[in-house]
Amino acid sequence: GENVEQHPSTLSVQEGDSAVIKCTYSDSASNYFPWYKQELGKGPQLIIDIRSNVGEKKDQRIAVTLNKTAKHFSLHITETQPEDSAVYFCAASEAGGYQKVTFGTGTKLQVIP
């Protein structure tokens, strides 16, 4: 089955700096890669996703890149703000997400004011 690795496990940045979280996946059949933000005691919230036919996608301060050859994908958050502090999970799925999604181990991001 699919295996998703995520690094780093914790990340501290100064407010205004950028944060980068990296993931790798093992199954070349995976074609859908969502990213989720989870605040303490809440369910994960979808923040951005990318499909395998696209190399990069951006939504305001958040961007995701995908390297299918290397089976790498990354989340980039620019101009970080304290409210960006949370746990971020990457994930991978086949069939555009209509089959089960495999999650990474999570990254706890702390933005220091």
Residues that bind other proteins (CB under 8 A): 34, 36, 41-46, 49, 89, 97-98, 100-106, 108
Nearer to other proteins, 49 or 84 (CB): 49
Write down the least CB distance from residue 28 to other proteins, Å.
21
Nearer to other proteins, 3 or 18 (CB): 3
Write down the least CB distance from residue 81 to other proteins, Å.
21
Q: What is the DSSP string of the chain?
A: ---EEEE-SEEEEETTS-EEEEEEE--TT--EEEEEEE-TTS--EEEEEEETT-SEEEETTEEEEEETTTTEEEEEE-S--GGG-EEEEEEEESGGGTSPEEE---EEEEEE-
